[in-house]
Amino acid sequence: MPPLATPADDLALLSRAAREAGDIARRFWRQEPRAWDKDGGAGPVTEADLAVNIHLQQMLGAARPSYGWLSEETPDEPARLDAARTFVVDPIDGTRAFIDGQEGFSHALAVVEGDQVIAGVVYLPIPDLMYAARAGGPATLNGAVIAPSAATAPDGASVLTGKASFAPVHWRGGLPPEMRRMFRPSIAWRMCLVAEGQFDAVMALRASWEWDIAAGSLIAERAGCVVSDRRGRALRFNQPQPLADGLLLAPPALHAALLARLVPNAGED
């Protein structure tokens, strides 16, 4: 078997693939693409999601035939668990925003080796924003190195999360004073916005799919954030059940402070 590609080579491949995905998505955006609800309350999907997924699977599979494949829009195959590396892909993260004609959807692509992400990109094709990182390298936005905010305390912090996360039941001593809740439609983009310091933290108290968070987790980590599940445990990817127990992402001191204030078993957002 030939040697595996370097993380830098995988990152370059993901970047090309994400831009090609963006070309496909733009052809459907604001053109009233066909959309329907997936079974089991799994949310909406459009013909654009599927077109992007097919292209990515063909392109990436041809470039790296030995890699496994895990995507929101492809039936899961257990063979990925035996692969040395696996692509973890969300063809369109923020499908509801895409359907509504908003700009805040993204393509989230990652390569996982073992249980860790070694290359990841999150690309927003309409504003042309490419977030990227590889193992051992910096996190970048359109080639420029990014870093998180200097926030250290929950009081006054801006947190990207759902409404239910701010219920007092989730917080020891009640909701931190003046902590501000914000929202963006793509969770992968939310993670990158914290990585570049536009907001202070991302929080999800419900289970999070790997394809939503794999790429963003590496970008945030390489920017200087701490990324964990809702209970502070390290994230592991390419798992048999590809779900994390929520998400908490913030600069180190703020991450520790938020974790100390959160009630670990108070329900989900």
Task: CATH number for 7-143: choose from 3.40.50.1820, 3.40.50.2000, 3.30.540.10, 3.40.50.300.
Answer: 3.30.540.10
Distance in angstroms (rounded) separating the CA atoms of residues 127 and 138 = 22
In the numeric block, the tokens 């980590």 are attached to: 221
User: 212 labelled as ligand-binding?
Assistant: yes
Report d(CA 35, CA 255) in Å as an integer: 38
DSSP state of 238: S
Backbone angles phi, psi at 233, to 5 degrees: -85, 150
- For every residue of 21-86, DSSP letters joined together read HHHHHHHHTTS---EEEPGGG--EEEHHHHHHHHHHHHHHHHH-TTSEEEETTS---GGGGGSSEE
- 162 Cβ contact list (under 8 Å, min separation 6): 183, 204, 205, 269
Q: Which residues contact 246 (CB under 8 A, 6 or more apart)?
A: 203, 204, 205, 206, 207, 208, 229, 230, 231, 268
Where in the sequence of the chain do the CATH 3.40.190.80 domains occur? Answer: 158-261
Is there a binding annotation on residue 268?
no
38 Cβ neighbours under 8 A, 6+ residues apart: 44, 45
Length of the chain: 269
Q: Is 90 annotated as a binding residue?
A: yes
Strand partners, 129: 124
Measure Cα distances from 264 to 65, 187, 220 in Å: 41, 21, 23
Q: What's the distance, CA 180 to chain centroid?
A: 21
* Burial class (CB within 10 angstroms; exposed 0-12, middle 13-18, buried 19+) of 103: middle
CA angle 11, 5, 249 (to 5 degrees): 40
Contact 69, 80 (CB under 8 A): yes
Q: Which residues belong to CATH 3.30.540.10 in the chain? A: 7-143
92 is in an annotated binding site: yes
Residues of the chain below pLDDT 50: 269
Is 24 labelled a binding residue? no
Q: Is the dihedral angle over the CA atoms 241, 249, 95, 63 positive or is it negative?
A: negative
Which fold, 158-261? D-Maltodextrin-Binding Protein; domain 2 (3.40.190)
What backbone phi and psi angles, to 5 degrees, belong to 204?
A: -140, 125
**pLDDT score at 6:** 98
pTM above 0.85, yes or no: yes
Contact between 143 and 194 (Cβ < 8 Å) = no
